[in-house]
Structure formats: structure tokens, C-alpha cells
Structure 1
Amino acid sequence: MKRLKSLLIATVLFLGTSQTISAQAKTAHVDVNEIISKMPAMLDAQKQLEKLSATYDAEYKTMAQEYQTKVDKYEKEAGTVGDAVNQTRQAEVQDLVKRITDYRDNAQKELQKKESDLVKPLMDKIKASITKVGKAKGYQYVLNLADLLLADGPDLTADVKKDLGF
């Protein structure tokens, strides 16, 4: 009877240990940041965003220069023109400030939208590749390296890059 109990306890402990080992073996990690930073399509997207940003910056600088020129002119002439002209000019400057602020805000929103439109399909493609590679290699969980404190298991980054074609 004691022998049977001991055998039963040993069997339970063995099965519990093998389940733990099995669960650990089915987890891997991948470095999504490395993949996206080296992905050719992402590099093209970054170039597009930089070009669009440069266009917005140039227009913003032009508007800011126009503002500064008007302010300088109006300050020089403020003493020689009447109050009605100064009030009109003040309203004109305030309108210009509002247009500049609105332009800057809209440009930022458009850049964020463009970035989202360019990056989302790439992230979806990466996610699909990670899923494909992980399942092909028999893993139940594939974690992002950036979210891990310890990454001592299998790294699928190279396999995912290969699957994506770079």
C-alpha cells in the first residue's frame, strides 16, 4: 500500500514537471522593433513621412516669416498711421496667427494619419508572419522582446525576417 502511494505521488510529480517543461518549451520571443526598423517597406514609409513633414515645415516657415515681416512693418508704422489702420492691422495679425496655428495643428494630424495609414499594414504583415512562423515551429506563445524582462528562450526574429523576405 505504501509502495502504491509512493508510486502514485511520484507519477503525479513527474506528470506535473513534464507539463511545466512542455509549457516552457512552447514559448518563444521576437524583436518586433528590430524587424520593423530594418523592413524595406518601413524604410520607404519613413522616407515618405520625412518628405511630407519637410513640405509642411517649409510652408509653416513661410507663414511664420510672413507674420514676422508684417509685425515688423506694422510696429515701424504704428506711430504714423491712425488708430483705425492700427486696429485693422492688429486684426490682420491675429487672423494670421490663427491661420498659422490651424495649419500647424492640421499638419500634425495629417502626418499622424499618414503614419498610421503606412505603418498599420506593415504591422499586420509582421503579426501574420510571427503567427505563421510560431505555429510552424510549434510554439503556443510568441512574445515581443521589448515587453520582456528576461528573454532566455528561443528567438524567432531571424525566422520572421526570412519569412518577410529580408
Structure 2
Amino acid sequence: MKKLHLTFAAVALAAASFFAPSAQAQAPLKIGFTSVEYVLSQMPESKQIESDLKAYGTQLEAQLKTKTTEYQTKLDAYQKGAPTMTPVIKADKEKELQTLGQSIQEFQQTAQQSMQQKQQTLLRPVLDKIQKNIDAVANEQGYTYILNSDSGSNPILLHGPKDGDVSDIILKKMGITPTAPSTAPVMQAPKAQAPMVPAAPAGKTKTKSK
């Protein structure tokens, strides 16, 4: 019986020594959250980013408009002169229009990609600055995790207490006084669009005989 008590005591002591270090090492979890879009919209850099993106989008739209105008001018000239064109000239004009139309379609596709790349280039330094201050606030305030509360197809945070929102603390850390949320978040890049391009004539085009 005495041996049984000693064995139990040894097991209990071993268990206590196993759990004690882990219990001491584990600090209580403190979870906060922030809206990166909100923080970004409050930063003075966001206005410059929006301005730069708008200017870049305007340049793309101007190039697209030039291409579209050239196409329309040549299409009008083709339609007006087609009845008197020889088959060889007619085929050459049709090929030229098809090439121009294809060039415009390709430009429309790459313009949006170019806008997105431009946006990422402009945002990267600002997002790095936000991350640096999130890390600083987390260390100073004792947060174990800080989640992103921005809405999206797969939001990271679905619910949280208001006092867990550290967005304004992050802004104050950067020397920014929080104001009302921006009505036009800079996270959305403007799209470069142009008027629809009429379909180019293809192959043998029928003309009215006089």
C-alpha cells in the first residue's frame, strides 16, 4: 500500500513538473483587429496615390481614344470608298482594319493589368508602413494577434468587440488624427475604358452595284 502511494506521488510530481513550465510560459491571448482600408484612407499618402492613379488612368484612356479615333476614321473612309475600290485594295484595307481592331482589344486588356501593377507599386511602401506600425502597436499594447476586418469574399474577422479595434491607435502611432472614413477607398484602382470599337469588315464585302 505504501509503495502504491509512493508511485502515485511520483506520477503526480512528474505531471506537475511537466505542466508547470508550459503554464508559466503561456501568456493570455489578446486579439485585436483593424481595417487596413480605413487606416489607408486616413493617411495623407492616400490622396497622392489616388491622384497618381487617376493621372495614369487618364494617360491610358488618351492612348486608347487615339487608337479608337484612328480606327473609326479609317473605317469610315473604307465604308465610303468601298464601292469604287479594286478587290486588292479592298482586301488590304480590310486587313488593316482588322489589325487595328485587334490592337485596340489587346490594349484594352493590358491597360487594366497595367493599372493594377501601378497601384501595387504605389501602395507597397504605404502598406509596409502600416504593417510596421501594426507590429509596433501589437508589441506595445500586448496583442498576440491583430486581424484584418476589411470585408471581402473571405474576411478574416467575422465578429469582434469594439474595444478590440486598434485602427485609431495605429493612426495615432503614425501621428495621424482619425477623421470620418473616406468615401472613396484608394484600394480600388480606376479602370481605363474606351468606347466600343465597331467590328472590322471581314473577308469579301458585298457592295451595291450601280
TM-score normalised by the shorter chain: which range applies? 0.7 to 0.9
Q: Is residue 113 from structure 1 mapped to residue 123 from structure 2 by the alignment?
A: no
Aligned equivalent of 1:45, options 42, 49, 68: 49
Match of 1:149 among 158, 167, 185: 158
Summarize deviations over 1:46-79 as a string: whole Å, max 9, x none: 1101101011101101211111111111011111
Identity of aligned residues (%): 31
Q: Kindly state the Cα deviation for residue 85 of structure 1 after the two structures are TM-superposed.
A: 0.7
Structure with bigger gyration radius: 2
1:87 maps onto 2:87 in alignment: no
Root-mean-square deviation (CA, aligned residues, Å) is 2.3
Q: Secondary structure at the match of 2:146?
A: strand
Q: Determine the structure 2 residue equivalent to 1:131.
A: 135
1:64-75 to 2 correspondences below 5 Å: 64-75=68-79
The 1:25–1:154 alpha-carbon spacing in structure 2 relative to 1, beyond 3 Å, is farther
TM-score between both structures, scaled by the size of structure 1: 0.80
Is there any run of 5+ residues in structure 2 with no aligned partner, and where? 1-22, 151-155, 177-210
Q: Deviations over 1:69-92 (max 9, x none)?
A: 111110111111111110110111
Does residue 1:56 correspond to 2:70, yes or no? Answer: no
Instruction: Name the count of aligned residue pairs.
Output: 149
CA apart distance, 1:109: 2.7
- Deviation at residue 139 of structure 1 after TM alignment: 1.0
Structure with greater helix percent? 1
TM, length-normalised to structure 2: 0.64
TM-superposed CA distance for 1:99, in Å, is 2.3
Secondary structure of the 1:120 match is helix
Query: After TM superposition, what 4+ stretches of structure 1 lie above 4 angstroms from structure 2?
Result: 22-25
Which of 29, 38, 43 in structure 2 is aligned with 1:34?
38
